[in-house]
A and B are shown apart, each in its own frame.
Chain A
Amino acid sequence: MSAEALAAIAAIQGPATAQGAQASNASEAFSKMVSEGLSSVNQQLLASEAGLQQLASGNVENLHQLMIQMQEAKLSFDLLMQVRSRLLEAYQDVMRMQI
């Protein structure tokens, strides 16, 4: 086998390995996105909890800020739950697939 042939094989294999790396990068990016979303929802829930504690101890500046914060946290959590149910549906669809 000549050096040119080896180079040709490498040229064919190159894109394939690059694709594999891309796929793993994409899955990493997706899991990163999911964990970032989770942590931001968690942050909002924690902030609401802190606001509620402040309200309970009587030093809250204005009530509507707290209520809006709680609403934002609730909406983010609802979004999280919707994303979760969509993912789970897709996963179950794949698992039920006839082979």
Chain B
Amino acid sequence: MDHNQIFAVSAQGMSLERTRLEVATLNLANAHTLVGPDGSGYQPLSVVARSVGFGVHFNEAKMSVGVVASPRAPRQVYEPSHPNANAAGMVFYPNIDPAQEMMTVMTATRAYEANVGAMNAARAMSQKALEIGGTR
């Protein structure tokens, strides 16, 4: 059935939003783990998604979703009493902005809802199409 193509496209969108949520969750969870001053330890992750084969044929639209580490200089926090503090009293954490990650969480949730809404619209359409000429 041709509506299955719409389902497949929506499913790709849902997978992407799920990946974004996973990555944001992972970043948030690791926001306060220690990293070395050289950047060894947790690297903040980013989702890189591209539309591949998008063109004339609607059903050939595919998405390539990748998760890459974005190397950023670690965040320095002054905690002289910390056992891992360096000579200057600095401790290094991954450079993660919790507010930005929460924004990603919220936009991913909303975009997932939008994909579900589009899919449900396609489902409602095909169910209406099945009612054509029917008595029950």
Contacts and interface: CB of A to CB of B under 8 A. Distances in A.
Contact of A62 (B1, B7, B15, B119): B15
Nearest to A65: B11
Q: What 10 pairs between A and B have smallest CB-CB spacing?
A: A64-B14, A68-B7, A82-B130, A78-B130, A68-B11, A75-B126, A72-B4, A71-B123, A79-B130, A62-B18
Contacts of B33: none
Interface residues of B, number: 18
Interface string B113-135: 00010010001001100100110
Identify whether the interface residues of A are mostly helix, strand, loop, or mixed. Answer: helix
Contacts of A85: 134, 136
A97 B4 CA distance: 40
Interface of A: 62, 64-65, 68, 71-72, 75-76, 78-79, 82, 85-86
Interface of B: 1, 3-4, 7, 10-11, 14-15, 18, 116, 119, 123, 126-127, 130, 133-134, 136
Contacts, number: 35
B1 A79 contact: yes
A79 B116 CA distance: 22
Contacts of B7: 68, 71-72
A20 B136 CA distance: 37
Contacts of B3: 75
Contacts of B116: 64
A72 B6 CA distance: 11
A44 B1 CA distance: 12
B103 to A, nearest CB: 22
A75 B127 contact: yes
Contacts of A65: 11
